[in-house]
Amino acid sequence: MATEIYTKDKIQLIDGTEIEIVPLKIKYLREFMLFFEDIDSKRTDEEAVDHLLKCAQIAMKQYRPELAGTPEDVADNIDIHNLYKLIGIAANIKVNKKSTEPVKNQAQKSGKKWSELDLATLESEVFLLGIWKDYEELESSLSMPELMATLESKREADYQDKKFAAAMQGVDLDAQSGQSRGQKEWEDMKARVFSKGKATDSKDILALQGQTAKSLGFGIGMGLDYEDLTK
């Protein structure tokens, strides 16, 4: 059973000061990832590292605003090991200093591009909880792991309500479906989100992309192709 929603750790600045690093709130993650995607244009490791320093500058708006002025402020206060550690926890971008693989290539393997994520769908459902006055407050309050955990709990709670109401009518939803309907709805929803609405459910070929495909060992772009008949 999971006991943590996300990973957190500490990095050490050059002067010995420690900073706790947790996943970025969506407000800052959005800016971070949109800028990060331009790493595709970098040709050398030096250019890629400079780009990651600018990403870290954005992250410092959450962790240490006084270091968020320029990339040079970050470079003067953090070494390369802690830079990679920071972006790994802040945005799940994995770079190993000891690897012989180019920095750009390592960073690009960290998952789907931000522009491919239908964040509006995720936020809209969570917003229905009525906790936040607007979407800006929601994005300032939650990181992506927190958003996904909240959404999963909401969907499970909704299903339990439906299950109870059905039981009062003598209907066993779990027995009818042969599995947890709440879990199936959750998987189907994720498939729709990550395929930008093209996948009808989690078994649709269009859902086999990115990290989902990687975890299964195949998928679109990994030896499996398809023809999009919607175009």
**Percent of the chain at pLDDT exceeding 90:** 45
Query: Of the candidates 69, 66, 67, which has an alpha carbon nearest to the alpha carbon of residue 77?
Result: 67
Q: What is the pLDDT of the chain when averaged over all its residues?
A: 81
Shared domain for 65 and 128, answered yes or no, is: no
The dihedral through the CA atoms of 217, 221, 226, 230 has a sign that is: positive
* pTM for the whole structure: 0.71
pLDDT the model gives residue 168: 80
Q: Look at residues 81, 85, 38, 95 and name the one whose alpha carbon lies nearest to residue 59.
A: 85
3-state secondary structure of 71: helix
pLDDT at position 112 is 62
Q: Considering the domain boundaries, does residue 197 fall inside one?
A: no
Give the per-residue pLDDT at 36: 93
The predicted structure's pLDDT at residue 77: 96
Q: Are residues 17 and 104 in the same domain?
A: yes
Residues of the chain with pLDDT > 70: what percent? 72
In a domain, residue 210? The reply is no
Domain count, the chain: 2
State the residue range of the domain holding 62: 9-111
- Is 207 a member of any domain? no
Rounded to whole angstroms, the Cα distance separating 119 from 15 reads 38
Residue 167 located in a structural domain: yes
The predicted-structure confidence for 32-76, as pLDDT tens digits, reads as follows 999 999 998 998 999 999 999 999 999 999 999 999 999 999 999
Q: Which two tokens stand for residue 53?
A: 């320093």
User: At residue 213, what is the residue type?
Assistant: A
Name the one residue in this structure whose structure tokens are 């906790």.
131
pLDDT tens sequence across 112-164: 678 778 889 999 999 999 999 999 999 999 999 999 999 988 888 888 888 78
Q: What is the pLDDT of residue 190?
A: 65
Separation CA 102–CA 47 (nearest Å): 11
* Better-predicted residue by pLDDT, 13 or 207: 13
- Of 77-91, 103-117, 161-175, 194-208, the one with minimum mean pLDDT is 194-208
Residues 22 and 76 in one domain: yes
104 and 137 inside one domain? no
Residue 33: which of 93, 89, 74 has the closest Cα? 93
224: pLDDT strictly greater than 60: no
Tell me, what's the pLDDT at 171?
A: 73
In the structure, what pLDDT confidence band is assigned to residue 220 with cuts at 50, 70 and 90? very low
